[in-house]
Structure 1
Amino acid sequence: MAAGVLAASLLYTFKVARQQKALKNELDTEIPEKVQDHPYSRNPIFLTYLIAAVLVILFIIYKAIDLYAS
């Protein structure tokens, strides 16, 4: 099973590398207007950090209430 995953990963890596060589001299695409207007709120990485921080804070509050309630 693991050998199959390794073989598929190797083939996929070669495929991606071949595509990168073919696209080497092309320009990037334009950034959509909505993303240009709001670069932070439309960025999934920032949204992930924000959601994770909120979940951690809620967990800490829950544990603090649970600890002092008993």
Structure 2
Amino acid sequence: MIDESTTPQEAVRLAIERERGAKDFYTQAAKIAKYPGTKQMFEFLAKEEIKHLRLLQAELDKDYMQEM
């Protein structure tokens, strides 16, 4: 959970965890989808979550490098 004491880095780490969970959910949903259109939708959403993960990880890495 995020509150006033949460650092930006902690918030990004939490967001990364949630994006991973969403990606896993959509990937699993695509595997069990019975209709091609539904499968494609879940595959698309999983790919979007991967994009979000990359953006968040880049922000975390940028912050890490600035602290060094």
TM range (shorter): 0.3 to 0.5
Say which structure is richer in helix: 2
Relative contact order, CA 8 A, sep 6+: which one is greater?
2
- Higher alpha-carbon Rg: 1
TM-score, normalising length: structure 2 = 0.42
